[in-house]
Structure 1
Amino acid sequence: MVRVLASAVDVQRVVLIDRFLADMRSVPLSDLGTSDRLYSLSGLVETVAYYATAVMFLIWLFRARANAETLSPWPHRRARPWLIFGWFAPVVSLWFPKQIVDDIWTSSKPGAIQETGSLAAARRSGLVWAWWVTWWVTSFVTRGLSPFYANAKELPAIRDAALFGIAGNILTIGAAALAIAVVLTITRFQEDRLRAMAWPSPYTV
């Protein structure tokens, strides 16, 4: 929702700048000032929402990992501290977090371990792959290219920065949707497994 609202602010900003560049007299300077304030406010809200979401995801990740260790006897490839440090450590951040989620997925999915006998050799989820690739594409676009637009001063450059923001928001929304799908699927796997453990089949001898 925050990204959708931020995109609306960016679109309004682009339209306003286009009008101003076409005819300076058609846009009061006060409107440009209001647009600047809305843009700054939306950036602040996006930052707060990003870090709040990151904290909630890490809390879920720790709980999902604890449940996964209960559901499967096979050792996970990464120790628990990597659930946090894996996102920030140079180089290994390219694959450690995905390995962690892969192992949680395999440990949680009914019957997945029996297919391979180990977490390392398990078949990887297409959904997790889609989330991870989208996450890295989004990170590259929003973080890698943002310095080129962060200090835009001229109106054409500011307009391009707003268009860049819209593209980044679209990618972020896609990555977030896939992350939600991963979280909900793993949670459903674990709830089904834990429920089955608590209420064994009446046909079990």
Structure 2
Amino acid sequence: MPCTLCGDIIPTQVTRCPACGAWARRRDFRAVGVAVFMMLGFNAFVSLGTAIGMLRLVRPLDHITRDTFDPVVAGRVLAPYGEVFTISGALAAVTGVLYLAWLWRAHAHASGPRRHRRSWVVAGWFCPIANLWVPPRLVHDVWVSSGRLRTADRHAAGMVVAAWWLTLLAAIFLTRLFPSVGFDSLASARFSVQIGIAAAAMQALAAALCMATVFHITRLQIEHPTVIR
């Protein structure tokens, strides 16, 4: 199989690359990181396409009056976007499982101090109330513990993680709000489109920011092989 670090062909019975000396566990960790990065990119692409599609509905709705508005037609046009958000949610759930598998290994490989035990990598997402603040703190801890970062880099990591978490929460809230607005009136249809655009944009931005965390943490842990045990 090819080495994910240098591309050299490695026999299956060998646990270390003869060209660059990378351990198999190090290669596997990078492979998982690349898979998560690509899945997040696909999520961002789908959400961005949804936002662009809904943006194209703004101008037609601006030219419609209350007398010419047809709720049946509006429902036919806007209802499929609710199904798109459902599919995006299912895709995000699959990506989340892979992301947790990557974060589980990243937490174990980080050498610096961490405020939460490894079990919180999974439990932190499902415990009520705690899941509002544990995941971003855990990701930030893994990031700053994966290498020797300057103070400015630590602050930048904190800003990226905070922006990712806030956009993710906003995306979840707006996505759930979208189907409850309805399309019975012109005002509600316009508001639904605005909510849908905001929800899709937040989804795309959250996925992009999460890609940044995966990229930097994986890069730091690959560049510091002494961290990988």
Normalised to the residue count of structure 1, the TM-score between the two structures is 0.71
CA distance in 2, matches of 1:32, 1:161: 10
Q: Which residue of 2 aligns with 1:191?
A: 222
Matches within 5 A, 1:20-39: 20-21=64-65, 24=68, 32=74, 34-39=76-81
**C-alpha contact 1:2 1:45 (8 A) present in aligned 2:** no
Are 1:100 and 2:134 matched, yes or no?
no
1:76 is aligned to 2:114: yes
CA RMSD of aligned residues (A): 3.4
Aligned partners of 1:20, 1:166: CA distance in 2, in Å? 19
Which one of 83, 87, 109 corresponds to residue 45 of structure 1? Answer: 87
Aligned to 2:162: 132
Higher relative contact order (CA 8 A, sep 6+): 2
Does residue 176 in structure 1 map to residue 207 in structure 2?
Answer: yes
- Shift of residue 141 of structure 1? 6.0
- Opposite residue 160 of structure 2, the aligned amino acid is A
Superposed displacement of residue 166, structure 1: 1.0
CA distance in 2, matches of 1:38, 1:155: 18
Residue 87 of structure 1: CA displacement? 2.2
Query: Structure 1 unaligned runs (5+)?
Result: 117-122, 199-205
Residue 89, structure 1, aligned to residue 127, structure 2: yes
Question: One-letter code of the match for 1:95?
Answer: W
Give, in whole Å, the separation in 2 of the partners of 1:29 and 1:95. 41
Partner of 1:158: 189
Identity %: 28
Q: Secondary structure at the match of 1:35?
A: helix
In structure 2, the residue matched to 1:57 is 99
Deviation at residue 149 of structure 1 after TM alignment: 6.1
TM-score of the pair, normalised by structure 2: 0.64
Task: Name the CA distance, whole Å, in 2 between partners of 1:29 and 1:97.
Answer: 41
Q: Aligned letter for 2:56? A: Q
CA separation of 1:95 and 1:124: change in aligned 2, threshold 3 A: farther
**8 A Cα contact 2:51 2:197, kept in partner:** yes
- Which residues of structure 2 form unaligned runs of 5+? 1-44
Deviations 1:179-205 (A, max 9, x none): 11111011011111118989xxxxxxx
Partner of 1:120: none
